[in-house]
């Protein structure tokens, strides 16, 4: 599920783009903001932001820098009437991934957004409420970043990459712990901590199931 923000003081742009994005990606969540302040007050973790440069209470260039500093993986598409070379270059200098000049063709903008989302998708596993970002080494649960220790993150990644396959404790020890001499119980401890971090109810897990006597299987939140 993509999470896309639109920051623009033009209500027509907000309505038109929001509708266009929602019809293109039916599972996408679209957040609209008419001011820089309302955007900054939001704590949503977004995959992409369409950002107007000339906001009534802020500078889009500065806002773009803040977005990239807090989450470099968030794509930013600047949307503005400023089409001169100096303005475009400044946009890229502050970290924008693309620059679209108003008036614009909504279909062309959607095509640009799609290109970035597809590029992100190669390194992103999306299971609805749970996202695992391989390139950024991040895990998100319901849009909130969850910080996992190295071993737990690597355990989760291996299970995710082998979704639907039962993975033995011995295999997880070999892949995640390598030559380190630890008990197979280390795997059980890592799984227990993982469940506390990503499961709504760790005692009734949706993502990581136990296969008694063998190991674990990642099922992607599917009900069984």
pTM of the model: 0.57
Q: What CATH architecture does domain 125-218 belong to? A: Orthogonal Bundle (1.10)
Q: Are strands 75-80 and 58-59 parallel, antiparallel or unpaired?
A: unpaired
DSSP 177: I
Domain positions in the chain: 3-122, 125-218
Q: CB of 73 within 8 A of CB of 2?
A: no
Nearest one of 170, 181, 18 to 109, comparing CA atoms: 18
Spatial separation of the C-alpha atoms in residues 187 and 192, rounded to whole Å: 9
- 112-135 residue pLDDT tens: 888 888 766 667 888 889 998 876
pLDDT in tens, 33-45: 999 999 999 877 8
What whole-number distance in Å separates Cα of residue 192 and Cα of residue 169?
Answer: 13
Looking at CATH, the fold of the domain delimited by 3-122 is given as: Rossmann fold (3.40.50)
């Amino acid at each position: 599920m993509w999470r896309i923000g639109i920051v623009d003081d033009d209500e027509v742009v907000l309505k038109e783009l929001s509708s266009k994005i929602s019809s293109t990606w039916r599972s996408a969540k679209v957040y609209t903001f008419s001011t820089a302040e309302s955007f900054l007050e939001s704590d949503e973790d977004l995959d992409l932001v369409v950002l107007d440069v000339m906001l009534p209470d802020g500078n889009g260039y500065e806002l773009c820098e803040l977005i990239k500093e807090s989450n470099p993986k968030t794509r930013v598409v600047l949307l503005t009437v400023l089409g001169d070379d100096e303005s475009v270059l400044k946009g890229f200098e502050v970290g924008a991934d693309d620059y679209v000049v108003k008036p614009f063709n909504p279909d062309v903008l959607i095509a640009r957004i799609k290109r970035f989302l597809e590029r992100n998708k190669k390194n992103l596993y999306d299971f609805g409420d749970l996202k695992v970002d391989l390139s950024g080494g991040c895990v998100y649960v319901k849009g909130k970043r969850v910080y996992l220790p190295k071993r737990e993150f690597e355990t989760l990644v291996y299970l995710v990459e082998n979704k639907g396959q039962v993975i033995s404790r011995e295999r997880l020890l070999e892949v995640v712990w390598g030559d380190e001499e630890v008990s197979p119980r280390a795997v059980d401890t890592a799984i227990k901590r993982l469940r506390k971090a990503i499961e709504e109810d760790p005692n009734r897990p949706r993502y990581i199931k136990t296969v008694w006597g063998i190991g674990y299987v990642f099922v992607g939140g599917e009900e069984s």
